[in-house]
Every structure is written in C-alpha cells, then in structure tokens.
Structure 1
Amino acid sequence: MNTEIDLPAKRDLIAGLEKGLQVIEAFDQERSRLSIAEVAERTGLTRAAARRYLITLTHLGYMRHENKLFSLTPMVLRLGQSYLHSARLPRIVQPLLYRLAYALGEAASVGVLDHDQLVCVAAVSAGQLVSATLQPGTRVPAYCTANGRMLLASLPPEQIEAFLERARPEQITEHTIVNKERLALDIARAGVRGYALVDQELELGLCTIAVPLKNFRGEVVAAMNISVHAGRMPIDQMVERCLPAMIKIQVELNALL
C-alpha cells in the first residue's frame, strides 16, 4: 500500500479543486437550484468564495445561472461517464449482467458502496422497468437496498458497528426497517447466508435479492442484484427462482474480477 498517496501531505492537496467539487455536490434532488448564499451555507465557504466558484463553473459549462439561482448542466454527467467508461468493473460485469437479466427476464444491476450510499455502476432492464433507481450513476441509501446490505455485511465488524452508529434510517416506505437492532440482524443474516433480500423498503412494489462479487483476492468489491415487481414475483419465491442463476453468474464474475 502506498501511504504517500493514501495519506497525502496537506501541501500536496489542491484546495481549490476540493472546494469546487464540494460546490457541485451541494446540488441534489431536493435542492436542484441554489443561490450564492445557499451554496455558501451548504459548503462552508464564504459568500464571496462561493460566488467565484459558481462563476467559474458556469464559465466552464458545468452550471447555468438564471434569476440569481444556479443549477447544474448535463455537462456534469461527463464526470460520471469518465468513471463508467474507464473503470474495469462496469466493463467486466455488463456482458454477464445482460445474460443474467435476460435469462430471468428481470432487471439486474451491480452496485458499489460510496460511504453510506449505494451507487449503481451497471444495469440491464431486460424489458422490465421496475425502478428508476436501476440506472448507472444513481445513488440510494445502502441500508434499505439488497446490494447495500450485502456490501455492508462484507465489512469488518468494527466498520459495520460504526455505520450503524451514524446511520439515521428513514421510513421511506411502510416496509423500511428503521430499527437499528433489526437492521443489524438483517445485515448479519445476509453475511451468513451469502445473499440479501429486501422487500419493498426502498420503493413500494420493488423486491430485490443480491449476492456479493469478489475479486481474485477474495475481497468483496461489488454486489449484484435482481429486482422484480412484487405483483409478479413475491419475495418468498425469489430465492428459489433467481438465486441459482445468480450464483452461476457470480462464480463467473469472481473469476474475472
């Protein structure tokens, strides 16, 4: 491990780049249009500094400015596309994910953990558009998704404990597990049995089953799931109908990662 890169000296960091990315990250689904003052508040920058970053990002094409409010432009998608086009994981999993989805006739996706969120890096709908979250680049809470719980289960015990300590589960649907003891039990159960099941906790009608994907060192690097509509396949049928096909693809991918 290269500690020079993992633990860089402060003099090696470009503060302007870090703050510029913080400005981009200040915009989200709830606040897609922000004023200079709101960006300053969300990033901890002074109003003058926030103004300069917003003007620079607008000049570069990443922002638009209208009626004193700023918003992101589609150009920001280039940042995510750079990862999806260059990263090894999406390129390797996509063909086999396609095979899995069409073999089962259901939607399939692969996700990775980013802090406490699950980020989708590859997806195939197989004609079943069960959720808008099953698209590359989408981010959802890890605690209420099958891929997320499977990845959380792969963490060392102390990291799982730390996650549960800082987690603030929200009642997204009537089925969402918000009790931390129940959540801890479900994460542990996923680790023991090797798959995770989530029943309509992120979206009503959306049932998912996930398995871990490991690299050649045996480290879990991602999770793969099948998502179905509850009206088409109840959660209690997913293990029998989906898991065997998932395990076949899992074995093939583990040999490639």
Structure 2
Amino acid sequence: MNYNENAAEPEAPQARDLIAGLDKGLQVIESFDQERSRLTISEVAERTGLTRAAARRYLITLVHLGYARQVDKVFSLTPKVLRLGQSYLHSARLPRIVQPLLYRLAFSLGEAASAGVLEGDDLVCVAAVSGGKLVSGTLQPGTRVPAYCTANGRVMLASLPQPEVEAYVARVHIEALTEHTIVNRERLLLEIARTCSQGYSLVDQELELGLRTLSVPIKNFRGDTVAAMNVSLHATRIAGGEIVERFLPALLKVQVELAALL
C-alpha cells in the first residue's frame, strides 16, 4: 500500500531473490473479484496469464490449503482468505492508531466514519465505524473502491505530485457509477486540485446514490499524508451545503490528534 509506516523505501530486489510461485499464487487469489466470484481453470488462466496447467496446480493447492473450494469445474475462495487481510489490520500500526479515534468521531457525530489508503489506483478501507448507521457496504475494512469518485480517494490523489495525478487521470478507467459521477477527465483534475487547495473533499453521490462523504487527509508528524478519513451519511439526512459546516471541524480536530501519534 502507499502508506509507509516511517520506514525507508527498500531497494528493488534482484530477480534471484524473488519466489515466483508466491507471486503467481497471489495473482490467482486476486483474479477472483466481486464481478467474478466463481471461476473455471481456463478463466483463471486467462485472468492471470498463466498456462491452464499452471492455473490448475495453483487452484488445487489453494483448495488443499483451505483458501479455495471446488464444485465440479468451478472454483471460489473461502473465508480463510480473510486471514490475509486480518493479518494486516491486526499488525499494521495505522489501523490500530486510527480506529479508536474514528470510533469517537463516529459516535460523537452520529454518522459512519472510515479511513483508507491508496492501493494502486483504488482506495482500500483500513478502518471503519458505523456510528450506529449503516449507510454503505463499501465502508468496511478491506473494501476496495475507485479513488476517482470517492472523497478519501480524492484526498489521497491530491497528496501526490502533479505528474502522478495527471498520469492517474490519464490511465484510470472512469465509469459513471451514478448519474452524479464525474467522468470528464479535465473536470476530475480540477476537483483533485480543489481538494488539494481547500484541504478536504466533499463527494456527493458519485459512488452510490444517497451516499455523501466528507474527507480530510491523515498526516504524520512531518506533515506527510499517509491516509484519509471521512464521515459518510445518507443524502436525505443533511443538505449538501451543511455537511462541511457541521462535520469539518470535528474531522480537523481528529486530524490534529492523529498527527501527534503518527
């Protein structure tokens, strides 16, 4: 993930130091997604670039280890795969520090709150609290959503150098997930620039109809953006123009507290 827990960037490893089998096995796991949760050997081979024989061996191994199941000629992942994500959530410093403050934020406002980091071109949730209101299934640890149409995603994009932002906007597949989603690339660049200048992002029903989200960066003590956190609510509860006035001060207060801890 893009979040670096105060560690120096490691040098690129030599090819002889890498385990190709582990790399390919993880690719097989990642070939399953929300759209295709059940795959045949041929489909896995096509998605990963493996030969059919190699895909078969990896799938059989995953079944043997309990990470996948097979019904006839179709394979799917098992809940055991969640252990991989839980290992990060339980061991990484960022979720452990952020979660208690998110809990306090969510219940003080009576709305859901979450934190996320960039993973490739997507935003991955690393901590979340419902605040007693379930407004979206995307606000759960481990959930991956597009960065371009989410408040946390735009905050993270706004923290990147301008050439990286422009490269992202040029390459990412932009889909109109709702009638409100910004699909024009020039306008998206302007929204990311606006986020950078004002220090927060408000996204109104671009990811899901009815979902409004206000986000600010999470910074470490050096001022580097390491993640983003938001407050999310249903559009029927509060008018869009009131969200910033009502929720931004609370988000900024938590932002200051987190900067002293990271």
Shift, 1:234, TM fit: 1.8
d(CA) in 2 for partners of 1:2 and 1:98? 31
Letter in structure 1 aligned against 2:260: A
d(CA) in 2 for partners of 1:140 and 1:155? 18
Structure 1 position 9 matched with structure 2 position 17: no
Aligned match of 1:154 in 147, 153, 159?
A: 159
- The number of residues matched between the two structures is 256
Letter in structure 2 aligned against 1:157: Q
Letter in structure 2 aligned against 1:242: F
Where 1:144 maps in the other structure, the secondary structure is coil
Shift, 1:217, TM fit: 2.0
Greater shift, 41-50 or 214-223, is seen at 214-223
Residue in structure 1 matched with residue 119 of structure 2 by the alignment? 114
Where 1:119 maps in the other structure, the secondary structure is strand
Distance change (3 Å), C-alpha of 1:35 and 1:126: same
Which TM-score applies when normalising by structure 1?
0.98
Shift, 1:2, TM fit: 6.0
Aligned match of 1:211 in 210, 213, 216?
A: 216
d(CA) in 2 for partners of 1:231 and 1:181? 30
- Quick check: which one's helix share is greater? 1
Shift, 1:222, TM fit: 0.2
Aligned positions of 1:36-75 closer than 5 A: 36-75=41-80
Greater shift, 106-115 or 214-223, is seen at 214-223
Shift, 1:216, TM fit: 1.8
Unaligned runs of 5+ in 2: 1-6
Where 2:117 maps in the other structure, the secondary structure is strand
Q: Deviations over 1:27-47 (max 9, x none)?
A: 001110100011000000000
Shift, 1:232, TM fit: 0.0
Letter in structure 1 aligned against 2:203: V
Q: Deviations over 1:207-248 (max 9, x none)?
A: 000000111221100001000111001221111000011111
d(CA) in 1 for partners of 2:241 and 2:137? 23
Q: CA RMSD in A?
A: 1.0
Percent identity over the alignment? Answer: 73
d(CA) in 1 for partners of 2:93 and 2:126? 11
Where 1:209 maps in the other structure, the secondary structure is strand
Residue in structure 2 matched with residue 97 of structure 1 by the alignment? 102
Unaligned runs of 5+ in 1: none
Which TM-score applies when normalising by structure 2?
0.96
